[in-house]
């Protein structure tokens, strides 16, 4: 018997191969799914942050635009007075009426005029005002002071606004500081938070007054000393911050929580406005979600705008949670890939087993050669036919 070296071909594979291959496919699918899920979460967070940034910018710009509109009104009133020899109460009333500030939801409480009155002229001033407006006008609070700055006009003439007529604004330190700043630098200045005469007796009403100086036309105003000597009156525009923000309702998302503080510090003792009055109960939680702080320059003062989002904001911006869709879809496809891999490998293993049986049990001799015509394998029938034996 001739012995020839035969390279034995192994047709079978371990039974664990299908499960091992399936596990590999499943792990690869899970790794890819988690990678895509993390990327989607990062993109979502970036998208929400960008949208929130634009929302905060929109809120800030709307506030600044409304304040700018107040300034336009004030400069118009100043021009009206400086361009006229005299403005009668009726003319002033009609001018303010044409502005329609009470219908435009501007937040302005009214437009007034504050006159500078020296103590030596106080009595004559009061008599003149009583004749002009036909009412029991007097400067208050009572008492003798060197200089007074009473409100002599206020439109529209609502019951609340009429309470301000005759009030000496210089008796309020915050208002006086703003008026002096406006006078010295010929600019619009806003007061610190004050209680309007209209709001005396009310609680937690944060209000402000903006002042614009009016000088005598025939006097120089180049220096601070000249402006102090030339000051005649001030345009006076009071407003409540709640009215200001309510007038902006609908111009920015209502699922963004807004807080406004006087100064540059986020501190509850300086809190002036809060869009959601229950927000303090969960303010810290909301700030941990997403928040932003922005400083606003308002009439020579600084306001701090603090914004934070609600979960509803994130859902509205995203419309749907794509990361969850990726996670569910990825795991489903990973399981499907593992199942298909198991079917393919298991099917191949069964085919190999069937082929081995057919090869070994075939009645005819079968010899397998490689491309160099070397014997690779043969079945038992071939061994008997050619008297070959395997060299194991």
Write down all domains in the chain, each with its CATH number in brackets.
84-246 (3.30.450.350), 253-318 (no CATH)
Q: Please name the residue that has the structure tokens 């664990």.
A: 16
pLDDT for 11:
45
More confident position, 176 or 329: 176
Asked whether 209 and 194 are in contact (CB, 8 A), the reply is yes
pLDDT for 143:
93
pLDDT for 278:
54
Percent of all residues in the chain with a pLDDT value above 90, rounded to a whole number? 45
Asked whether 346 and 18 are in contact (CB, 8 A), the reply is yes
**Among 249, 248, 275, 246, which Cα is nearest to 260's?**
275
Cα(220)–Cα(230) distance, rounded to whole angstroms?
7
Handedness of CA 27, 28, 31, 34 (dihedral sign): negative
User: For residue 1, what pLDDT band results from cuts at 50, 70 and 90?
Assistant: very low
The C-alpha torsion from 118 through 120 and 122 to 123, rounded to 10°, is -170
Whether residue 283 has pLDDT greater than 60: no
pLDDT for 43:
74
Cα(110)–Cα(96) distance, rounded to whole angstroms?
9
pLDDT for 112:
95
pLDDT for 391:
58
What's the whole-number average pLDDT of the chain? 83
For 62, the 3-state DSSP assignment is helix
User: For residue 85, what pLDDT band results from cuts at 50, 70 and 90?
Assistant: confident
Instruction: Specify the pairing of strand 2-4 against strand 388-390.
Output: parallel
pLDDT for 372:
81
pLDDT for 3:
46
Whether residue 392 has pLDDT greater than 80: no
Distances in whole angstroms, Cα of residue 130 to Cα of each of 138, 155, 166, 198, 306: 8, 17, 11, 21, 47
Asked whether 251 and 62 are in contact (CB, 8 A), the reply is yes
Cα(236)–Cα(210) distance, rounded to whole angstroms?
6
| Cα atoms in the Cβ-side hemisphere of radius 13 Å centred on 35 | 6
| Longest Cα separation, the chain | 146
Give per-residue pLDDT as tens, 318-338: 655 666 777 778 778 777 777
Cα(58)–Cα(63) distance, rounded to whole angstroms?
9
Percent of all residues in the chain with a pLDDT value above 70, rounded to a whole number? 85
Beta bridge partners of residue 16, listed in sequence order:
none
Average pLDDT over residues 280-293: 62
Instruction: Specify the pairing of strand 375-378 against strand 388-390.
Output: unpaired
| Angle in degrees, 0-180, between the axes of helices 17-82 and 322-361, rounded to the nearest 10 | 160
Q: Roughly how many angstroms between the first and final C-alpha of the chain, as a whole number? A: 15
Output the DSSP codes for 243-278.
Answer: HHHHHTTTSS-TTEEEEEEESS---GGGEEEESSTT
More confident position, 322 or 82: 82
Cα(338)–Cα(19) distance, rounded to whole angstroms?
9
Cα(261)–Cα(192) distance, rounded to whole angstroms?
11
**Among 204, 188, 143, 200, which Cα is nearest to 168's?**
143
* DSSP secondary structure code for residue 282 in this structure: G
């Amino acid at each position: 018997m001739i012995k020839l070296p035969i390279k034995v071909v192994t047709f079978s594979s371990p039974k664990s191969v299908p499960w091992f291959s399936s596990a590999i496919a499943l792990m690869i699918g899970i790794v890819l799914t988690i990678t895509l899920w993390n990327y989607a979460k990062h993109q979502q967070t970036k998208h929400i942050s960008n949208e929130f940034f634009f929302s905060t910018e929109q809120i800030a710009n709307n506030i600044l635009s409304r304040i700018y509109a107040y300034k336009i009104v004030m400069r118009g009133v100043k021009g009206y007075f400086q361009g006229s020899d005299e403005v009668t109460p009726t003319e002033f009333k009609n001018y303010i009426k044409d502005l329609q500030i009470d219908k435009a939801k501007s937040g302005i409480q009214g437009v007034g005029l504050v006159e500078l009155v020296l103590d030596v002229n106080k009595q004559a001033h009061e008599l003149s005002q009583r004749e002009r407006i036909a009412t029991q006008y007097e400067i208050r609070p009572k008492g003798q002071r060197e200089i007074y700055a009473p409100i002599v006009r206020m439109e529209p003439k609502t019951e609340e606004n009429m309470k301000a007529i005759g009030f000496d604004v210089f008796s309020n330190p915050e208002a006086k500081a703003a008026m002096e700043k406006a006078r010295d630098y010929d600019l619009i200045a806003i007061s610190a938070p004050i209680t309007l005469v209209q709001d005396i007796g009310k609680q937690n009403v944060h209000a402000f007054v903006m002042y614009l100086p009016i000088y005598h036309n025939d006097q120089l105003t180049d220096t601070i000393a000249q402006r102090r000597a030339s000051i005649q009156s001030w345009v006076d525009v009071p407003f409540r911050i709640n009215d200001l923000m309510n007038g902006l309702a609908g111009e920015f998302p209502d699922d963004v929580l807004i807080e406004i503080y006087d100064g540059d510090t986020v501190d509850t003792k300086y809190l002036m406005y809060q869009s959601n009055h229950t927000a303090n109960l969960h303010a810290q939680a909301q700030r941990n979600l997403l928040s932003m702080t922005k400083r606003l320059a308002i009439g020579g003062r600084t306001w701090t705008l603090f914004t934070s989002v609600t979960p509803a904001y994130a859902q509205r911006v995203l419309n749907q949670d794509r990361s969850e869709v990726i996670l569910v879809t990825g795991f489903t496809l990973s399981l499907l890939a593992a199942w298909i891999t198991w079917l393919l490998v298991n099917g191949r293993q069964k085919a190999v087993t069937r082929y081995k049986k057919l090869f070994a049990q075939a009645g005819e001799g079968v010899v397998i050669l490689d491309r160099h015509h070397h014997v690779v394998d043969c079945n038992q029938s071939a061994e008997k036919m050619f008297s070959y034996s395997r060299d194991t």
